[in-house]
Amino acid sequence: MPGLPLAVWSLPLGATLDLLLGDPRGWPHPVRAIGHLIVRLEAVARRLIKQAGGGERTERLAGIWLTGHVVGIVGVAAWMIIVACDWLGPVPSLLGRSLLIYWGLAARSLGDETLQASEAPDLKTARRELSMIVGRDTATLDEAEIGRACVETVAENYADAVVAPLFWFVIGGPVGLWAFKAVSTLDSMVGYRNAKYRDLGWASARFDDVAALIPSRLAWLLIGLAAWVAGERPGNALRIGWRDGRKHPSPNAGWGEAAMAGALGIQLGGPATYGGVPGFKPLLGEPDEPIDRTTVRRSVRVMRIAATLAVAFAWGVRSGLFGSP
């Protein structure tokens, strides 16, 4: 479109790179660098806790320090990359911003890795593939349980892999996107409610809850719209999402899962074991249909349509097509 600055096209270009390339295993990725940074700063935080004599309050303060430093370092790094690329000219600016967006999205990988687990030739391979994308224990899961886990991870991670990065991109450009990625990576590494991270990871988990609060609700709406485009059950997606989205222990994870359950006419949740400890996730949706490989394919299709819609809306807002950016 004439009149739009060249850098505005970074979002559709970055999203296209994600669509075409995904995140091949073994390729370098900034999120892995963030993981190394977290490991190093966690070691510093634990030394500080030990020097201060320990205690819940000390650990929580150290967790705030850890969260602030990781998010700050990642945000400054993204800003410096943008400044350098802008200084080099319009084309490097476009390419640099596009790469930051490409690395910040994960729709292609989310769908591909889920399908690899669902459509593996045998249970042993399926369990191994699934263990690489979910946190639950997979060694004893049967085919139906693998299918349920696949749909749940597609629905839940759609918000973190697509909607939330785009939401923060709209608000703060690539810096906002990568600040969120830092928060999300922190939560995935230290935001646990176990003895090791209950206090040190408290700030990271709460920060992630706040950062994903609006995106998770947007994911519910987008999955409902995508269900209409895909010929699924859009009204049911919105109804079940609104009814059951709050049942999940996480303030955000249930919205996407409940919407997907409604869209496909299935029930998610139920028994799940984490770290050898059996548990029971709240039931979301209604068991109108069984869950099998076809169901997983349908969930990935809905997610990919929803991802395309999210990119389109984000680009429209960011470029000013829907009003002032």
DSSP collapsed to 3 states, the chain: CCCCCHHHHHHHHHHHHHHHHCCCCCCCCHHHHHHHHHHHHHHHHHHHHHHCCCCHHHHHHHHHHHHHHHHHHHHHHHHHHHHHHHHHCHHHHHHHHHHHHHHHCCHHHHHHHHHHHHCCCCHHHHHHHHHCCCCCCCCCCCHHHHHHHHHHHHHHHHHHHHHHHHHHHHHHHHHHHHHHHHHHHHHHHHCCCCCCCCCCCHHHHHHHHHHCHHHHHHHHHHHHHHHHHCCCCHHHHHHHHHHHCCCCCCCCHHHHHHHHHHHHCCEEEEEEEECCEEEEEEEEECCCCCCCHHHHHHHHHHHHHHHHHHHHHHHHHHCCCCCCC
Domain boundaries, the chain: 6-318
Question: Is pLDDT of 3 > 80?
Answer: no
Q: Give the Cα-Cα-Cα angle 145, 149, 153 (nearest 5 degrees).
A: 175
Taking the C-alpha atoms of residue 170 and residue 312, their distance in angstroms, rounded to an integer, is: 12
- Token pair for 89: 């000219």
Q: Contact, 17 vs 102, CB < 8 A?
A: yes
Give pLDDT tens digits for 218-262.
999 999 999 999 999 999 999 999 999 999 888 999 999 999 999
Nearest one of 48, 108, 37, 105 to 73, comparing CA atoms: 37
| Identity of the residue numbered 32 | R
**Whether this model's pTM surpasses 0.85:** yes
Give pLDDT tens digits for 72-122.
999 999 999 999 999 999 999 999 999 999 999 999 999 999 999 999 999
Question: Is pLDDT of 178 > 70?
Answer: yes
